[in-house]
Structure 1
Amino acid sequence: MTVNQMIRCLAPAGMARPVGMVVPRVPDTIFFARFNPSPTKRETNMNKTDRDARFRQIRDKVESGQRLSMDDGIFLYDPEVPLQDVGQLANLVRERKNGNVAFYNINTHLNPTNVCVYRCRFCAFRSDLRDPKGYAMSDEQILQRGREATENGCTEMHIVGGLHHQKPYEWYRDLIALLKDNFPKIHLKAWTAVEINWFEFQTKKSKQWVLDDMRSAGLGSMPGGGAEIFHPEVRDQLCEHKANTHEWLQIHQAAHELGIRTNCTMLYGHVEQAYHRIDHLMRLRELQDITGGFQVFIPLAFHPDNTKLDNLKKPSALMDLRTVAISRLMLDNVQHIKAYWIMLGIPTAQTALAYGADDIDGTVRHELIYHDAGATTPQCLSVDDIRGLIIEAGREPVERDTVYHRVHRSETDFRDWHSGQPVDDAVAVS
């Protein structure tokens, strides 16, 4: 049986396997497969008539619910294919899955340290131990962030940071426990696969042990960072020493099998090409076929300022919208696509709600990583701001929690909230 046949047997296209269900291990080739882009490279020389015919084939696939191929995805990145046409197709899928709503949450970020053993070329956040910029937060600083989150009605704390070589695994685990013990209602979305991989190294334990131990401390779900671009032609240029593609995907598979939901991401707009992006999306799609544990995909636009790639320009709004749209079309088995306003900018994020995105993230207090890389967006938006920009984009704002349940708040005290039914049950349309 081939890998693709095994995938189809495990979970048919578009059907998510319940999180927590133990599934057979697939061959490692799924994590290392390189897709051949040459056929679609030749297609870029098409004349307009042939290009229009090729797009109609893709449109027919989308309208009938068929899965797009590697070549389809690369073709849609051709700048000669009208962006508006790609966006309309993506919006068809977006509304089929999520109706007219756009989700947001009330959240805050916590980056406990920026000291990091790795020197990724795209990162402006990291610091050396002796650099004046370097820091590691105290317990009291962490508790203060939790108190502030509670006072502002936050439902989620997003926790990622550097890999501090003088901080033991217990420091990272204990800060999760500290927050959960003192603020049990706040969902802790913590640690990328890169950090989990580092904790494996520190503890000499398995990824399953680390994930289960973190969950017992209070971890609720995982963010999707550290994916960058999976293809080794690019990954080896950006971050050759940290968790590789195989490790990133296996850590997320292990999390899903333990019942821990995760996000997934792609960092685009630097040294990669279109076929690297589609390769990346297809690897995510294949793992989602097996586990069903990815709840949202976030395309992350590269910001070059203060990085080792500061000679590059950040991607244009047109590239941002095309990437959001193609992500929606390729990831047919991921329910949600997020337009992260911090990186895209507010106008582009609003527009992306008509190009396949159904989520705009949240209030986002204390974001450091992308602002260090030159993001000029505000450090925080109010709930009224978030709801207003969604309404202005012609969508219905719906507050969600981290795992996509509707949030209900008291009319008399904004800080008094509870989670209700899953949003997908309420808004999906046939």
Structure 2
Amino acid sequence: MLRTSSPILAPIREKIEAGERLSFDDGLVLESPEVALPELGELANLVRERKNGNAGYYNINTHLNPTNICLYRCTFCAFRSDLRDPKGYWMNDEQVLARGQEAVDNGCTELHIVGGLHHQAKYDWYRQVVQVLHDAYPTLHLKAWTPVEIDWFCRLTKKPVRWVLEDMIEAGLGSLPGGGAEIFHPEVRNQICEHKADSRRWFETHREAHALGLRSNCTMLYGHIEQPYHRIDHLVRLRELQDETKGFQTFIPLAFHPENTKLGAERNITKPSALVDLRQMAIARLMLDNIDHIKAYWIMLGIETAQISLAYGADDIDGTVRHELIYHDAGATTPEVMSVADIEQVIREAGRDPIERDTLYHRVERSAAGWRAAEAITAGA
């Protein structure tokens, strides 16, 4: 039996102990300041250990942002650049391949590829990023392009989502990241990113990807102008698609970093505290009963909070994350890369067992000859 004792949590505790699904209204209760964070964490940890035991997953990965030039002007973004801005860049094939070589040289199993929507770049350039990397480094898993980018490719080619995804798969696409979700509710989305792909398009893209056999991740950006209702609405919508397709692997709650953003300056927003971060991690674990993994993205949370998150519902802290730019441009002060030894120490200090996994959640085995994906990781095993 759990030690939680708050009367407000009693009905929810009973549901969790019985393995029953929480309702929308239950989610709003979890958001209430009347619910003590340690008690919430205890409930989330019960679910986490049911699904993933004592495992603390990580991978060895590198980020590639092929351009930061973007025609959209999302108010929460510090990464984007105008064409003539001195910080703007646009990689050529040689630079892209150099990042792939660096990834392989450092034992990476994954390259995470997202970037800006360059108004002068043709669709073929985006496809070529995937193609040249896959041709040169076929063992490197390419997790690329959010629904926002896929939507832009549809506009460039005048083709449907499925055609674009099939074409990218042919080029070497391995899975989709979870970005571009932000907050689904139009009351918020229309204020922070009104011109880019809406929630309907986001879900269409992931639904089509799952139908084609691609796995994907999902995210939520919190700590800006949204309210608890919007966050729970977001989680329930993700849960509903997962009921339908079972294609999501991991949910990543992302805290808004206000530094160098228009939204942060105009609304005088400060970064969410570690306590808020832990609450959102725990709520996600409790609400998303059909998504196997919850990731504590250490780049965004900070190493210490990510470590504590392993007791608040998270079972994964991402990976080495070489060359992350998007959160660092928004003021993140975390290191730009973390060694495997450091990652494993962080996980062990949290009382968890470090397990290297690949993008598709297979255990990774390493030897002098290199690495290979071993058995699939099964939640609840």
Matched, 1:373 2:327: no
**Residue in 2 that maps onto 1:142:** 96
Kept after mapping to 1: 8 A contact 2:356/2:364? yes
- In structure 2, stretches of 5+ residues that fail to align are none
**Residue in 1 that maps onto 2:176:** 222
1:264-413 equivalent positions in 2, closer than 5 A: 264-310=218-264, 311-410=268-367, 412=368
Letter in structure 2 aligned against 1:362: G
Kept after mapping to 1: 8 A contact 2:58/2:319? yes
Kept after mapping to 1: 8 A contact 2:147/2:180? yes
In 2, Cα distance between the equivalents of 1:260 and 1:239? 26
**Residue in 2 that maps onto 1:254:** 208
**Aligned mate of 2:57, from 99, 103, 125:** 103
* CA drift at 1:356: 0.2
**Aligned mate of 1:200, from 154, 167, 170:** 154
* CA drift at 1:408: 0.3
SS of 2:262's partner is coil
* CA drift at 1:428: 2.4
**Residue in 2 that maps onto 1:47:** none
Kept after mapping to 1: 8 A contact 2:8/2:35? no
In 1, Cα distance between the equivalents of 2:356 and 2:298? 16
Percent identity of paired positions between Structure 1 and Structure 2: 68
In 2, Cα distance between the equivalents of 1:236 and 1:270? 13
**Residue in 2 that maps onto 1:428:** 380
SS of 1:118's partner is coil
**Residue in 2 that maps onto 1:37:** none
Superposition RMSD on alpha carbons, in Å? 0.9
In 2, Cα distance between the equivalents of 1:95 and 1:196? 35
- In structure 1, stretches of 5+ residues that fail to align are 1-50
Kept after mapping to 1: 8 A contact 2:182/2:221? yes
**Residue in 2 that maps onto 1:66:** 20
Letter in structure 1 aligned against 2:47: V
**Residue in 2 that maps onto 1:57:** 11
**Aligned mate of 1:241, from 181, 192, 195:** 195
Letter in structure 2 aligned against 1:87: G
**Residue in 2 that maps onto 1:131:** 85
**Aligned mate of 2:112, from 158, 172, 189:** 158
* Deviation readout 1:399-429 (Å, 9 max, x if unpaired): 000000000000x35xx000011111xx624
**Residue in 1 that maps onto 2:163:** 209
* Deviation readout 1:376-411 (Å, 9 max, x if unpaired): 00000000000000000000000000000000000x
Matched, 1:84 2:41: no
Letter in structure 2 aligned against 1:208: R
**Residue in 2 that maps onto 1:40:** none
SS of 2:364's partner is strand
In 2, Cα distance between the equivalents of 1:71 and 1:316? 24
* CA drift at 1:330: 0.2
In 2, Cα distance between the equivalents of 1:186 and 1:387? 22
In 2, Cα distance between the equivalents of 1:147 and 1:296? 27
* CA drift at 1:248: 0.3
Letter in structure 1 aligned against 2:244: I
In 1, Cα distance between the equivalents of 2:153 and 2:137? 24
SS of 2:6's partner is helix
TM-score (ref. length: structure 2): 0.97
* CA drift at 1:138: 1.2
* CA drift at 1:80: 1.7
SS of 2:354's partner is strand
**Residue in 2 that maps onto 1:167:** 121
TM-score (ref. length: structure 1): 0.86
In 1, Cα distance between the equivalents of 2:309 and 2:163? 39
In 2, Cα distance between the equivalents of 1:235 and 1:258? 28
* CA drift at 1:206: 0.5
* CA drift at 1:54: 3.0
* Deviation readout 1:29-73 (Å, 9 max, x if unpaired): xxxxxxxxxxxxxxxxxxxxxx93331100000110110011111
In 2, Cα distance between the equivalents of 1:54 and 1:300? 27
Kept after mapping to 1: 8 A contact 2:192/2:263? no
In 2, Cα distance between the equivalents of 1:270 and 1:175? 33
* CA drift at 1:175: 1.1
